A = this chain, B = another copy of it.
Amino acid sequence: MADGAPYTISDLAESFDVTARTLRFYEDCGLLAPERHGRTRLYSERDRKRLRLVLRGRRLGFSLEEIKEMLDIHYARPGEVSSPDVMRARIAAHRARLVQGREDAVIALDWLDALEGRLDRLAPREARRAVAGRMG
């Protein structure tokens, strides 16, 4: 009881727009660890949350290994906190990368704005809304 609907591999794959292969691969990497009914994988809400974190990390440009590292810290039990100083250093590195990424993104967005503006001047947009009227 109180399980909250387990997902099949294709359920999860579809809802996150990844392939089943990807989910199995993430399992090989230690990123996911779904239960099994016989051989068949059954994904819980917890697995969904982990997957969400994994995909976010991926979008942020972290490697799967880095993502695993972060998840390992995130899900570490009190007794399992080995070498916290190393972990703190890694967290600091991750943070630095994220901050750098945000700065880069701001600049890149401005750049894209300028780019689009230039495009508009060089090749003005069609007035799509005005097709029906005039000129007829």
Chain A contacts to B: CB under 8 angstroms: 53, 56-57, 59-61, 70, 73-74, 76, 78, 81, 84, 87-88, 91, 94-95, 98-102, 104-109, 111-112, 115-116, 119, 122-123, 125
By secondary structure, the A interface counts as helix
Q: How far is the CB of A92 from chain B (nearest CB, A)?
A: 8
Q: Which 4 A-B pairs have the closest CB atoms?
A: A61-B61, A84-B123, A98-B105, A81-B122
Is the pair B57, A108 in contact by a Cβ cutoff of 8 Å?
A: yes
Q: Give CA–CA (A120, B123) in the complex, Å.
A: 56
Is the pair A74, B115 in contact by a Cβ cutoff of 8 Å?
A: yes
Chain B residues whose C-beta falls within 8 Å of the C-beta of A112 in the assembled complex: 70, 91, 94-95, 98
What is the chain B residue whose CB lies nearest that of A74? B115
Is the pair A59, B60 in contact by a Cβ cutoff of 8 Å?
A: no
